[in-house]
Structure 1
Amino acid sequence: MSERTTSSNWALAIVQALELGGVDCVALFAELGMDYAALNDPDARFPQDGMTRLWQRAVALSGNPAIGLNMAQVVRPASFHVVGYALMSSRNLRDGFTRLVRYQRIIGEGADLNFLPQPDGYALTLVIHGDRLPPARQSAEASLAYCLAFCRWMTGKPIRPREIRLQGPAPADLVPYQQVFQAPLKFNAEHYGLIFERADLEAPLPSANEALAQLHDRFAGEYLARFCSSRVTHQARQVLCRLLPQGEPRREVVAQTLHLSQRTLQRRLQEEGTSYQQLLDDTRRELAEQYLGQVDLTLLEVAYLLGFADPSNFFRAFRRWFGETPGEYRSRRGLVG
């Protein structure tokens, strides 16, 4: 059965953060049946639920629910696998975050990142998915703390986001959060996220190098292709992208294209945490954002490219995805067309 996984690079950073908090991770890995030695194998990956159990036990053993924030103290580019170096060689943090979103599955498959311009800045939002276990809050907090610390390290500047968004109620002790983020905290937020000032993300990075950025893009792209090629979700998504402009693709057509029976396709997608209908919906949503960014495409053309025979169905789906009409989405982002 295919499960979501986390790279050994990211798992090693988590272990270092937990060990800073006084957790004996060698003993803990043995208790959880996980391979501590594999942390030093750059190609090893750890199951998402194993990482969730690791967080849960670490919180119980340390008595520190904010232990995830220790990630801000273990910053090094390799924790993000090749993606860390791709970020460093980017022109600015805006380009770096675009790369982070593109390659984020290399670091961990349990996270969904989004990077979107806001009226007066940029938002990097995060959703963590569990497999059989609901994700640990500490996992998301660690990701935000590490990401911000990495930005400060790369720029050499004490970047202060406009807002830190955290799901769930405010903890009894806010001090660790205030010390790490040094920015306004918003709890009970819809998503985990960092809201940045525009100027901070558009300033040139000291380590920018276009030639290296292209090289890292190639490495990351090759790794992702190799990593994803075994995933039916990835293969089916590619087929859907190809077929959508001809109308809504039927499941049997996608199954035939992949040389699978409908039942096998459905089972494999289920094992990878999705379904045919969910994958179709997710693919359309992702493509809708891309197409609406192309101002030469009319809304009618976008609807047909997404396989909607009736544009009103596209408008309904879009409102469900983004809480606004395609026209409102475009005008809010300053896109006309």
Structure 2
Amino acid sequence: MGGNPMDLRRRHGLAHEEAIHDPEAMVCLESVARLLDDAADEFARPDLGLRLGTSQNPGMLGLLAVVIQGSDSVGSALADISRYLFVHSPSYQIVVETPLPAPNMGWVTVRFDVDVDAQVPFRQLVDGCLSSMLTLARSLTGIPITPHSVSLPHTPAASRRTYETVFGAPVVFEQPRAAVHLAPDLLATPLKPARPEIRRAAIAYIAERYPPSTITTATRVRNALGGTIGATRGTKTEIADLLQLHPRTLQRRLSSEGVTFESIREDVYRTATWRLLTLSTLPLSQVAHTLGFSEQSAMNRSVRRWFDTTPAGVRTTAASRSACDTR
């Protein structure tokens, strides 16, 4: 697009020697998110994240691609991605949710979560990740995967038609989470494993080089809360039931990890509230409903406690900062 990539990298602290020359080096994801947002504004390309996603190839996943290519079905490949994604980025997480029992809701939801501070601009990052997720899935499986629909937690950066062309499916914006919704029978689609002995060697190498990625109870609670925002009240009893644990057992396990259910819930809902207020144009009453608050006044009290201002104040401040950033 005629820009200077190195200038952008320097501007965001990503021009050091290791980041440039070592393909396995980890860099700060928040810096990457800011770089993408900055580049989209500077070059007037609101579809930058989507364009980046469609240009990815399996090689960018390194070892993870080797593991996935050895999977025997689409469902197994998703399980591998969920299990080993930390090798690519410990701040990314893919969660496969079971189909909902309600009529016309029998699809599998593949939820994408990114762990960055709530105030980091992540519209381009999320667009790029979901776009690349589908691009890579189609490339690795050789299947023309068509989602039932796609959910995004923000207003569209580019035109709605651009999103639907990239994803090949209807896109619903201003949702509590980013997700791709797939037909359940797709998970059983067999793949042709590429040399299983290479897959085994890649998994052994990951086990040797990287610390074990153990899913803690706190992570399971965070995932459950994130996946049920708006569908439940997010109480300890509800989450314990989802995790098939007694509430006391859940609390005991969290205590052993040095956290409380209340602190995790507070963080999940604070982040979701900030993002819906700043990245959507939903009326405040609808934001409260989407997030599962009993009424708007309950959301107002929580926002005042979290951000020392009103929901309208959060939006006004975010809009002012965005205007300054684009000048």
TM-score by length of 2: 0.62
* Correspondence 1:168 to 2:154: yes
Give the C-alpha shift of residue 40 in structure 1.
3.6
Q: 2:97 aligns with which of 116, 122, 131?
A: 116
Aligned equivalent of 1:145 = 131
* Correspondence 1:23 to 2:9: no
Aligned residues: 243
Superposition map of 1:67-106 within 5 A: 67-106=48-87
Distance 1:82 1:158, change over 3 A: same
Distance 1:168 1:41, change over 3 A: same
* Correspondence 1:200 to 2:177: no
CA distance in 2: counterparts of 1:283 and 1:172, whole angstroms:
34
Which has the higher mean CA deviation after the structures are superposed, 131-140 or 51-60?
131-140
Give the C-alpha shift of residue 299 in structure 1.
5.4
Letter in 2 for 1:219: Y
Aligned to 1:125, the other structure's residue is in SS state: strand
Matched-pair contact (CA < 8 Å) for 1:87–1:99: yes
Aligned to 2:252, the other structure's residue is in SS state: coil
Q: 2:13 aligns with which of 33, 42, 45?
A: 33
Percent identical among aligned pairs is 19
Give per-residue Cα distances to partners, 1:131-180, cap 9 Å, x unaligned: 48524211111111001011111222221011111111244612321221
Give per-residue Cα distances to partners, 1:28-51, cap 9 Å, x unaligned: 113333227534413311112221
CA distance in 2: counterparts of 1:109 and 1:299, whole angstroms:
26
CA distance in 1: counterparts of 2:33 and 2:220, whole angstroms:
27
Aligned equivalent of 1:261 = none
Distance 1:281 1:36, change over 3 A: closer
Aligned equivalent of 2:177 = 191
Give the C-alpha shift of residue 92 in structure 1.
1.4
* Correspondence 1:213 to 2:199: yes
Q: 1:158 aligns with which of 144, 163, 175?
A: 144
* Structure 1: runs of 5 or more not aligned: 1-20, 229-233, 242-279, 309-315, 324-337
Matched-pair contact (CA < 8 Å) for 1:168–1:187: yes
TM-score by length of 1: 0.61
Letter in 1 for 2:171: L
Which has the higher mean CA deviation after the structures are superposed, 103-112 or 90-99?
103-112
CA distance in 2: counterparts of 1:204 and 1:283, whole angstroms:
29
Matched-pair contact (CA < 8 Å) for 1:154–1:207: no
Matched-pair contact (CA < 8 Å) for 1:284–1:306: no
Letter in 2 for 1:307: R
Letter in 1 for 2:26: R
Give per-residue Cα distances to partners, 1:294-321, cap 9 Å, x unaligned: 9xxx855x9647737xxxxxxx98xx79
Give per-residue Cα distances to partners, 1:91-111, cap 9 Å, x unaligned: 112111111111222212322
Matched-pair contact (CA < 8 Å) for 1:91–1:208: no
Aligned to 1:114, the other structure's residue is in SS state: strand
CA distance in 2: counterparts of 1:106 and 1:200, whole angstroms:
26
Distance 1:72 1:101, change over 3 A: same
Matched-pair contact (CA < 8 Å) for 2:123–2:157: no
CA distance in 1: counterparts of 2:146 and 2:113, whole angstroms:
22
Matched-pair contact (CA < 8 Å) for 1:91–1:210: no
Which has the higher mean CA deviation after the structures are superposed, 191-200 or 208-217?
208-217
Letter in 2 for 1:169: T
Give the C-alpha shift of residue 185 in structure 1.
0.9
Give the C-alpha shift of residue 181 in structure 1.
0.5
CA distance in 1: counterparts of 2:118 and 2:160, whole angstroms:
30
* Structure 2: runs of 5 or more not aligned: 101-105, 225-235, 254-260, 269-290, 292-327
Give per-residue Cα distances to partners, 1:7-64, cap 9 Å, x unaligned: xxxxxxxxxxxxxx54321221133332275344133111122212211221122111
Aligned equivalent of 1:222 = 208
Q: 1:307 aligns with which of 252, 269, 280?
A: 252
Matched-pair contact (CA < 8 Å) for 1:154–1:205: no
Letter in 2 for 1:29: R
CA distance in 2: counterparts of 1:129 and 1:172, whole angstroms:
23
